[in-house]
Amino acid sequence: MSRLFLLATLLLAGCVNVDPDTGKTIPRGGQKYEFEYVEKQAKKLRNGMSYTDVLLVLGSPAERDRANSQWVYLPERPAVLIPGRALRLEFEGGVLVKHAYHPIILGQEL
């Protein structure tokens, strides 16, 4: 019975939240846009961009650290059953200094 419970938990964790009115996928956390859109827009990122510049290109991230120096954009589906990646941005003094995709590994920080 515990194997069945584990399998059910993993399957439910892989579910995607969908707006019942529109049928559109709901981005995770405070992220404004779906990850597919973020990936397309990320090609426009350049080091030296301000917070505002990045927000205009990508919208708000799913997660930010307390110092507002790292932002993370996440796919809608948690990477439990299907491998995934996240986009992490690093800022220094309010300016973008690094941006790259990182694999999502369960239990590890991005």
- Domain range 2-103, CATH architecture: 2-Layer Sandwich (3.30)
> Region 30-36: what's the mean pLDDT?
92
User: Rounded CA gap, 48 and 68, in Å?
Assistant: 16
- Which pLDDT tens digit goes with each residue over 41-89? 999 999 999 999 999 999 999 999 999 999 999 998 755 556 689 999 9
String of DSSP letters for 33-83: S-HHHHHHHGGG--TT-BHHHHHHHH-S-SEE-TTS-EEEE--SS-TTSS-
pTM of the predicted model as reported, rounded to 2 decimal places:
0.76
Highest mean pLDDT among 21-25, 37-41, 73-77: 37-41
What percent of the chain is modeled with pLDDT above 90? 55
Q: Which of 44, 79, 46 is nearest to 58 (CA)?
A: 44
Kindly list the domain boundaries of the chain, sorted by start residue. Answer: 2-103
